[in-house]
């Protein structure tokens, strides 16, 4: 299992449009993937789960990956977060 902390820079946070792109990327990987903020955790492959976290600009999230392609998954999801637009 690997983890990586990433800060959300998007003005509107992880709202519906970027969350959809994030989830589509997550679904390209075989590993189990989660997003954690504070004491809350959601499946990175679930739109409702991600939206329920209420991630805002400036929030630091922890990406968690467990599986055969966990390193590639964390790198891919980090890249999506860093490229997010409003």
DSSP letter (8 states) at residue 38? T
- Cross-strand pairs, 6: 61
Domain ranges of the chain: 2-83
User: What are the residue numbers of the active site?
Assistant: 15
DSSP letter (8 states) at residue 48? H
Superfamily name with CATH number, domain 2-83: HPr-like (3.30.1340.10)
pLDDT digits (tens, 9 = 90+) for 7-35: 999 888 988 889 999 999 999 999 999 99
Does residue 85 have a pLDDT over 90?
no
| Residue 46: how many other CB atoms lie within 10 Å | 17
pLDDT digits (tens, 9 = 90+) for 49-64: 999 999 999 999 999 9
Structure tokens, 43? 């499946």
Q: What pLDDT does 12 receive?
A: 87
Mean pLDDT of 42-50: 97
């Amino acid at each position: 299992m690997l983890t990586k902390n990433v800060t959300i820079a998007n003005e509107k946070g992880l709202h519906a449009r970027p969350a959809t792109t994030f989830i589509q990327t997550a679904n390209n990987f075989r590993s189990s993937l989660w997003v954690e903020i504070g004491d809350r955790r959601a499946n990175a492959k679930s739109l409702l789960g991600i939206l329920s976290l209420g991630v805002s600009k400036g929030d630091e999230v922890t990406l968690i990956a467990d599986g055969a392609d966990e390193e590639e998954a964390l790198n891919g999801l980090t890249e999506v977060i860093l490229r997010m637009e409003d």
